[in-house]
Chains A and B, each alone.
Chain A
Amino acid sequence: MPLILVAPLIVFAMLALGVRTRRAAANLAQLAPLSALVGVGLATWARLQKPEPYDGSYEWLNIGTAFSGPAQFQTYIVDIGIRITHLTSILMLCALAISFAVLAWSRVGARGEPSPARYYALLTLLLTSTLGVVASTDLSVLYVFWGAAAAASYLLLSNSWADEASTLGARLALAVPFGSDLALLAGIALLYSRYGQLNLDQLIPQLHGVAGAGPKALATAGILLFAGAAGRLGLFPFHGWLTRASTASAGAHAAVQGLWALMAAGLLYKVLPILAASNTVNPWPLRVVAVTAAVSAVALPLLGLAGMDGQRALTAAGIGVSALAVLGFARPLAVAPAAVLLAATALARVGLILAAGSLAAGMRSPLVSEMGEGLRRMPLSLLALPLAAAGLAGAVGAVAGDKLLHWWWVAAYALGLGLGMLALFRVYFLAAHGPLPRRRGFDPNRVRAAPNEVAVPPLLLAAIAVLISIALYSTRFQGYFDRLPHQRPAFAFLALWVGAPLAGALLAAGLFLAARALGGRLTAGAAFAWEGGSGLARRALDRGLVAPFTALIALLEDRALAGGESRLGRAVGDGARILHRRVPLLPVALGVAVVVVVVAGLAAPGVYR
């Protein structure tokens, strides 16, 4: 069991400390997912037909913190617990698949990365952290892995430090999700402050008891925990860190968004009982989940339509469809299938980004307006886009079902799917069938198909996503993860869930064929407006938040404090100058002695008792 976490950690340490060359780093990094695969594979195989999970734990901390007061606050126990259920198995296998694909792609696709050992080491650390988050049974341990993954993500995205745009994107990737990580921490702290317990096995049974948190506190904790997951998933309004990270290497960008989607799936599945427990008296947490997911599903593909950066557009569209999977978490009986769907969308999104990275590298530009003739020149890389789109949107219908709570759920699913596919296929049509313009220093005739190491991994990931999507239409497959009965949605709804993405794809094709020039100009106008708007927002944030505080500190440090200190310093200096003067020693000593005696006498009458 420890093999799953310890072996990749050892590989990380070896990469960080001992490897210098690119080839050695790439080869050694493969050992991490390989060794973890052995562990996960064995555990999965052992529990294939058995409903009981595979449990293992190591007692990390066990402290008796108090001798009185409520019993739950008298100890602080942290066990590094690992639990492999059917669901965690598939999440971990998806993480390993992503890791293998990114590592294979990076052998050629990330040749330009500075410090390859660091790059591969951070990929390994991110994988280890993902496995830790998915498998852990204690919220504090989960947060340890979560924090490690956050640090690894930031360093991975900012690996190309010399590139200003990449560094700015990485800084955003540090700052924006920090807010949501903070929310997660606050949620965990709130739960601890009420229950004195962070082990989910012991915490969840207490949720319905009288002691502990009231409905309001429980609802707040649930919303904070969800905010933690939403931030890392890139749901609206936390999407900026993922879309702006497109300036980083495609391998890093793909790994970060794929693995974080899996971690978010793991977290949401674990904490959903907390949201559900508060839902019995306070429906707000699940409403927040549903509304955030629905808004993200509609808004983010729209944002994806605005820009010309292919990787950014695909990221926005991918987040939008993943948000539809999150919507499933707000429905009873759809939680485990929703987590599997989120894993499938993670695979598809990684496939999309890797393929887009290959296309951008081949056509020497990240902008879709400067891409074209891809189907003829880079067919394998380009085919990954529609295949990944199928994997992304294919199974949403299976999880959406037909027993929807409100009419706007239907609208969110249909609009989200349609807009997501519109944004995605817009990129596909421009890159596949658009003209490849000649640019300064770029000859279209020199564009060649990407080597197999780069072209095949995205295709494979997309294919796995499609397979999972197809399997999700089987109620038996859905029931395998939660041992609950599931029903197929009615045909009319099924038609709607399949029709909506098809409509989006067809609309993209129609727009491409009918008004390519007009569409290009429109898109350019939208991109211009978007850039202007975000620039304004940045300036407003700087002027409204950062500047006043820094001005205040300047005022404090350079004027008030420095003035006060200089007066204080002068006073001390003047005091010290007395020592340089010739003073009569005996009278001074006698005076000091008298003062000390009087003070001591006044302060402590007991001295003379």
Chain B
Amino acid sequence: MTEVNLGEEIVFWISGGLAVLGALGMILSKKAVHSALWVALTMINLAILYIANSAPFLGMVQVIVYTGAVMMLFLFVLMVVGVDSSDSLIETLKGQRLVSIVLAIGLAILLIAGVGAGLTDVVPVGLEEANGVDGGNVEGIARLLFTDYLIAFEVTSALLITAALGAMVLAHRERWLPRASQAELSRSRFLGAGHPGNLPSSGTYARHNAVDTPALLPDGSPSELSIPGPLVARGDVRPIDHHDVDQIESLGGGTK
């Protein structure tokens, strides 16, 4: 057993406290995205604790994989599924929730008791001996990776290929028409029913320049061309604040 020195103790109390804070924040925040960010805090602090405990590989992987990849995937899944979508509280199978809670508690008791019993009489070897074989934690992992687990390591590349291939197959939208060139686009804009010049920008003569605020035509009516179609379809167009418009006109002394 090595002694815990002051620096390590300070790191522990700061990082440990922040990790617990992040965990609590994750449970207590109402928005899923906030929860995800709290988890990131917890993960980073766990990484610091790992490094402080002389497990640099674990600490780095914690940052690279968990804080980087897993957290990002969480966020992306939340974004793709919809930030505000919440779980339905209706049970499809009656009593399902109760049964699963009972089973989960049962499994937890079993695991805690079993693992606890399995770990009671264990004598820790100590870091010196574990790291002494190869002269360091990361070196030890490098040796295992390139000897005992060589095949597992190489085959992992098949896993990565499958992941990227699958993402492409499921999520990449291919074109069945070749992409129109700039010349073609321009030609169709002038010859077809399109709008030859730039569309009027949003918010002109109004108080706001946000894309959901229509521009005003000389007669004071909103210009439909100035707002993007999806916003109209979504019903998110902001009504014109005539009080604002009048105020601006009075400031500028202009006429309608």
Do A and B actually bind?
Answer: no
Q: Taking beta carbons and an 8 Å cutoff, which residues of B are in contact with A?
A: none
